[in-house]
Amino acid sequence: MRWLALLIALFAASCSSNSDDSSAFTLYRTTPGVGNEATRIHVATFDTGEGADYNAANCKIAASLFRSQPGVLSEYWCEKGRFRQ
């Protein structure tokens, strides 16, 4: 029975995200031609334990890769912190 409790504890620890919101960055996009062009749509949140610089850099790389695809009309950008409406 102890091994089951240990397994559950390990699973819960591996599923938890970094609780420090100050190091998280969130990638957003617009949807051209659908409603308000200023709409912010959540794409991804970067919240690794590697810190704010790492998360910011990866968010910016992802935004750049999305923008560089042929025919993409959406705008992509990063904001510090977790997703918010």
CB 47 within 8 A of CB 24: yes
Spatial strand order in the sheet of 76-80: 41-46, 25-29, 76-80
pLDDT of 82 above 70? yes
Residues 6+ apart with CB under 8 A from 21: 47, 81, 82
CB 41 within 8 A of CB 29: yes
Task: Name the pTM for this structure.
Answer: 0.70
pLDDT bin (cut points 50, 70, 90) of residue 34 is low
Structure tokens belonging to residue 51: 């810190």
Residue 36 pLDDT: 59
